[in-house]
Amino acid sequence: MARKKIIAGNWKMNKTPSEAVALANELKALVDTDEVDVVFCVPAIDIIPVVDAVKGTKISVGAENLYFEESGAYTGEISPNMLVDAGVKYVIIGHSERREYFAETDETVNKKILKALEHNITPIICCGESLTQRKQGVYIDWIRMQIKIAFQNVTADQAKTCVIAYEPIWAIGTGETATADQAEEVCLAIRECIKEVYDEATADAIRIQYGGSMNAGNAKELLAKPDIDGGLIGGASLKPDFKDIVFPN
């Protein structure tokens, strides 16, 4: 089955609202396409102006986080309804930076995924191993555990709509990319894990991205692999080069 590629920028904690609008305006001229799904995942405060900036294009806007409650006394958090009302279609969940600096666990990741799905926001579910785990040879086991907990109580029909991002922590922001073979090995293992948990149709439908120092130079080789359906891009999503990941040549 042909899966449509999905290229998402993760702007992380970069760009003020006015800078975000300027970047969205610059990029939208370059990456407005039907061929692949293009998503700008932006800081919460930038969501409303960026949704406005990309109106009339095929580009979607994503959030970088959400909270798993509907409303109430959760100072500083953002509910799924707030994101939906602002025009958000995707949300990054369980990025390694959130796990490391904000104490997110596999269990909170699972709660956030269920909440996003309940509100028809597509979760981009991050997983990935540390350098130590890779060196010790336990990376596949580790990622299978992350995936199995992330998908608890998610139905097969819901799982088919999800996006998984494999992001080896040692490759994030370091300039060191996983080789295309290393990335494919893990993306295939993730798909096999989904097949075990659900079935072949679900494994065939779910889209799996690679993330970690992906750029204009290495995108083509990574995206050519059969189990890599897109990219989650940090640094290179803040530059016009982003178009060379959307349209690798």
Between 198 and 242, whose beta carbon lies closer to ligand 13P?
242
Between 80 and 234, whose beta carbon lies closer to ligand 13P?
234
Looking at 64, 97, 104, 167, which residue is catalytic?
167
Q: For the CA atoms of 156, 158, 161, 163, what is the dihedral angle to 10 degrees?
A: -90
Nearest to 62 by CA among 20, 107, 3: 20
> Is 167 in the active site?
yes
Alpha helix locations (H) across the chain?
17-31, 47-53, 80-86, 96-101, 106-118, 131-135, 139-150, 156-161, 180-197, 200-205, 219-223, 242-246
Establish if 214 lies at the interface with ligand 13P (CB under 6 A): yes
Compute the chain's Rg from CA coordinates.
17
Q: How far apart are CA 129 and CA 145, in angstroms?
A: 11
Between 230 and 234, whose beta carbon lies closer to ligand 13P?
234
Establish if 233 lies at the interface with ligand 13P (CB under 6 A): yes
**Collapsing DSSP states into helix, strand and coil, what is residue 93?**
strand
What would the x/- binding string for ligand 13P be over residues 158 to 187, using CB under 6 A? Answer: ---------x----xx--------------
Establish if 234 lies at the interface with ligand 13P (CB under 6 A): yes
Instruction: Compute CA 42 distance to the chain's CA centroid, rounded to the nearest angstrom.
Output: 12
Establish if 232 lies at the interface with ligand 13P (CB under 6 A): yes
Establish if 10 lies at the interface with ligand 13P (CB under 6 A): yes
Selected range binding ligand 13P among 30-38, 54-62, 192-200, 212-220, rule: CB under 6 A: 212-220
CB of 228 to ligand 13P, least distance (A): 14
- Positions annotated as catalytic residues are 95, 167
